[in-house]
Structure formats: structure tokens, C-alpha cells
Structure 1
Amino acid sequence: MFLGSIIYNKRREMNLTQIELANDICTQNTISKIEKHNIAPTVNILIKICLKLSLTLNDVFSDFTTESSVKEESALDAIEKDVLLEKISDIDERMSSLEGKLNDNDMKQYELISGVMDYWNKNYDVSLFDLDKVLQYTKSAGDDIYTLLAYLFKGMNYLGQKHNDRAQYYFKMITTSVDEVSQISNASDLEILFICKTLAKSYNIMGLYKRSYDFSRCGLNIAQTRHVSYFLDELNYQAAYSIKDDNNEKQAYQDYYNLALYLAKSNKNESLLAKMR
């Protein structure tokens, strides 16, 4: 079932007219076009519709599939996904079960996972060593997602150690590829949005708010275009944080903040909710 049909059916179930649903959200014509599958709503409008219709994001996104979700997910892909989502309780055991079963092409992903795990566990020096091995396997090719993820985590390692200049060096190496990152053949939606939200957060930490806002918006636009919901709460929060002191963006700040709060509650993202209390 398509998004427009989900909204149409729920609206009819609640005995709402298109005008009633559109009130304080958008125009009746916009609701009509969404229900007829003529346009896709912005994330902002979609979330307001969800709130009024008591729909969750899972309700409206569950029927969309991406290329990466259609193809069979390998064991390494599944592990990498959990690691990027910081679901790491059983990763060591799952990685051990793959020893001796990997080919040369798998090794860059295997070493990336190892480097990310060491980063989450604050083993920064070991993490940097693993990430350098990733770059050896990819030959630092800018069109390989594992090159960009290795640069990202090297930058995060240095940022965590307060070496902001080194962190910016690696983040800028990603920035040169950001316009093409969505076209990288071996990149999943999760990986792309992880890069966007992490760069947005990192630039906010460094006080580079314009760059943070740009990457927040980049991630939100990609999520809207591809109908995926990874990190929407954090992307909206980073967008809000980057403009919180701009007197010309007070309404935009409130919109991003409210969306982030709603999404964080929906996702039970306790770490983000703690920041927002």
C-alpha cells in the first residue's frame, strides 16, 4: 500500500474531510495530491499529518523498500547496520562466527566494523589502526562508501580527543564527495544518513553551525526523497541546534525542535530525549 492510500484510509476511518485534515498543516489541494500519489509530502507536513491521524512513522514508511532492503542482506551488512545504530551487545560473538569465511572483498567492511566497535568502546588508537586498514583495502577511493566511513570515524576519533584541526581535515575529505555520496553504488541509505547526521553533530560541537545546518538539511532531503526514516529525530535536532541563536530563524528552530522531540519520543531515543529535557 502506498503512502497516499494509508493517509486516505486513516482519514476516512476517522471521518475527517480533506479540509479538516489540512487545517493548520497545509492546503486541501496538497492533501488531495498526496492521497492521489501525485506528490510526496515534506517530512514536516508528513509528521503533522501523522500526529493528527495517530499514525506512527513505521505505519507510513513500512511499505517503502530501498534497493538495499530488496536484496538479500549479508551477515556483514546486518552487523554493520547494528553497529551504526549502536546496537552492539552481541557484535563480538557475531564477528567471531565469520572468521575464516570472508573473502578479500569483505575485508574492508570487516575492518570498518572493527574500527567502529573500537571507537564506541573508546579504544581510539586501535580504532585508528583498523580504519587505516580500511583505507588500504579501498585505496582511499572517494567513490567507495567505506573510504568515506573510515574518514568519518577517523575524524570522530580526533574530535573525541579534542584535536579539532585533524578532525576537520577528515571531515573536509568527506565534504568534497558529499554532492555525489547519494550516487555511490555500494552505499546504503543508512550509511548515507549516518554520515549526514554525524557530520551535522560534529560541526555543531565545533561551533561550525552553517556546515552543521547544511548537512542536517542534506540528510532530511535524502530521507524525504528515498522515504526512509533513519536518524530523522537526530537530523531535526541538529538542524534546530545549529540555528538556535539565529533571531531570524526562531520559527524554523521551533519547528525542527518540535519534530525532533516528537520523533525522539516515537523512537524511544532516550539519549536524545535526555539532551532535550
Structure 2
Amino acid sequence: MIDGQKIKDTRKKLGISQQDLAKGITTQGTISLLERNSTSPRGDILAKIISRLGLKLEDVVVDNEVLTAQRFLDEADNFSMSNDYDAALATLEKIESLGDKEQEAHYLFLKTNANMWKSRDFEDALFGFNRILQMRNKQVDIFTVLATCELGVVYLERNENDKASFYFEQVPDLLANINLDDYVFWTLFIWKSLTLYYYRMMDFDKCMEILEQAEAFSNRHFTPVFIDSLYYTNALVLHDKNGEWSSDAIKYLLKSWAFASFTGNQENIKKSSETLEEIGYLPK
């Protein structure tokens, strides 16, 4: 089996984008799937990819155990996306061993996040997210950013806004060191948390700025991930800025309900439906 992480690490070390690696060989989407161990390209295509990276086949061949762990981590990602934390935790339990430090951080983040929202035990969450920062040893990667962002979320839930701000205000600078196109799911996840923070701080202009950025990013990558949550926040921002449910605010509420229905996000279906019902726009 092929180690997609090895391909990604080598590409990033060489400063090559997914698009550049794919040029003349395959599509950027295939490179993205390959790096996430979600596809196995034809032999001729794989040979050209690893040749462009200066690798040999034996450099990227791994045992099934590593790929199995990554497959379960990806499945848990999908469950977390729809707030199905019981299923996410059950999937993580299937993992017998983890292949590297990145998989360990990925696993710990998913487990900590799922347990936090399932039990609302924010003390354990503080420990889990801080442990990730220690594991990564101040290395700036996607899991460093995620842990930092979610520490902000924990303090926001505890109504400790000064502590929340300490972590949230670090996130944009940390993201500047990440190739966001490599982490579509996690980028939108982080922006979702950031928009919640700025909304709670009543910084509506900053909130709208991130919402617009997230919507454009989502459209560019043809993904509905978290777009229902982003649209819901957008509706709230417009309502609070204007002091009424304007036609634009209602439009975003309806879009939030539609996308939540499409992705099966029961929590957001309930939330958007209740708000629409309150203002007399309950969808049929």
C-alpha cells in the first residue's frame, strides 16, 4: 500500500503545491486523495508522481496497519463533521495502533473534541488540547492550530473571554503558516470556531470577513462541510447588525437549513428550523 503522508511530506519539503505535482500527470484532486490515503492511482501515474518527488517505490510502500489507522481517522473526521460524536468515538476505538506523531495528534484531537461535546467536560478538554501542543513541541502544523483554536472554544464556553481571546487571536497568524488547500475540512472547522468567537465578542465586521472568506473557500473546493453552520452565523450577524430579520438574514437561515438537511446535520437542522419557525418561515 502507498503512504500518502510520505508523499505529502516530501512535496511540502520541496515547496511543491498539489497543483504543481499534478501538472501533466493527473488532477490536483487525485493528489489530495492520494495524500489522504483515499485512492490508489494507476501504476504509471504513481510512478510519475514519485519520480517528480525524487522518491522510489520502496520509499512510499507501507504496511496495512498504518493505512487502516488513517482510514478510521478519516471516517471519524466525517462523523465529527456531522456532530455524531458517539460514532466518531466508536470508530476511534477500532484503531489498534498509530503510525506516526501526526496520526497520534489527529487521534487525540478527535477523541478530545468528541468527548468534550458529548460530556461537556471542559476540564478534560483543556488537558487534551494542551497535550497536543506539547506533543507537537511548538511545531506549527494543522493540529497545533486546531488545539490552539479549541482551547479558545473551551474558555469561551466557560465564559472566560480574556483567556479565550488569548488563544483565538493567535489562530490567524498560525494559519498563515499552513497551506489551507491541503486541509479543507480542518480549515473550515477552524473558521467556524473563529466566526463564533467574533460573533460572541460582537465584532460583526471581523465575523463577516471570515464568513465571506470561508464561503469562497468552500465554493472553490466544492464542499458543503460546515457551510450550514457558517450560514447560520451569517444570519445571526445580519440580524444583530440591523436589529431585524432582514430578507438577507432570512435567506441565510434558509440556506443553513437546506445545507444542514443535505448533509444530515441534525443539530443544525433543529437550530435553523426553530429560528425559522419563530419568525414564520418554517420550510415545508
TM range (shorter): 0.5 to 0.7
Indicate whether 1:218 and 2:213 are aligned. Answer: yes
Q: What does residue range 50-199 of structure 1 map to in structure 2 within 5 Å?
A: 67-69=31-33, 71-73=36-38, 74=70, 75-120=72-117, 121-142=119-140, 144-179=141-176, 181=178, 183-184=179-180, 187-199=182-194
- What residue is the counterpart of 1:40 in the other structure? none
| Shift in alpha-carbon separation, 1:135–1:259, aligned structure 2, 3 A | same
How far the C-alpha of 1:270 sits from its partner, in A, is 2.4
1:147 offset after TM fit, Å?
Answer: 0.8
Structure 2 residue aligned with 1:229: 224
Query: More deviation in 71-80 or 151-160?
Result: 71-80
* Structure 1 residues 88 and 206: alpha-carbon distance in aligned structure 2, compared to 1, 3 A threshold: same
Percent of counterpart pairs with the same letter? Answer: 19
**Separation in structure 2 between the aligned mates of residue 140 and residue 81 of structure 1, nearest angstrom:** 27
CA RMSD of aligned residues (A): 2.8
Counterpart-to-counterpart distance in 2, 1:90 and 1:245: 35
- 1:272 is matched with which residue? 272
Cα distance in 2 for residues equivalent to 1:248 and 1:271: 20
Q: Give the residue type in structure 2 aligned to 1:262.
A: A
Q: TM-score, normalized by length of structure 1?
A: 0.66
After superposition, the C-alpha distances for 1:232-254 in whole angstroms (9 at most, x for unaligned) are: 22212212221224449955434
- Per the TM alignment, residue 106 of structure 1 is displaced from its structure 2 partner at its CA by 1.8
| Cα gap change, 1:104 to 1:232, in 2 (>3 Å) | closer
2:219 and 2:121 map into 1 onto residues whose CA distance is 35
Q: Distance in 2 between matches of 1:191 and 1:107?
A: 16
| Count of residue pairs the alignment pairs up | 211
The structure, 1 or 2, with the larger RCO (C-alpha pairs under 8 Å, 6+ apart) is 1
Task: Give yes or no for contact 1:111–1:134 (8 Å, CA) kept in 2.
Answer: yes
**Separation of aligned partners in 1, 2:247 and 2:122:** 40
**Aligned mates of 2:83, 2:152 — CA distance in 1:** 18
Structure 1 spans left out of the alignment, 5+ residues:
1-63
How many Å separate the matches in 2 of 1:106 and 1:225? Answer: 27
For 1:79 and 1:266, how far apart are their aligned partners in 2? 19
On the 8 A contact 1:264/1:273 being kept in 2, the answer is no
Cα shift readout 1:46-93 (whole Å, capped 9, x = no counterpart): xxxxxxxxxxxxxxxxxx957544542422222133224311223333
- TM-score, normalising length: structure 2: 0.65
The more displaced of 73-82 and 210-219 is 73-82
| Residue number in structure 1 paired with 2:16 | none
Structure 2, gaps ≥5 residues long? 1-27, 39-69, 278-284
Answer yes or no: is the 8 Å Cα contact 2:109–2:143 preserved in 1.
Answer: yes
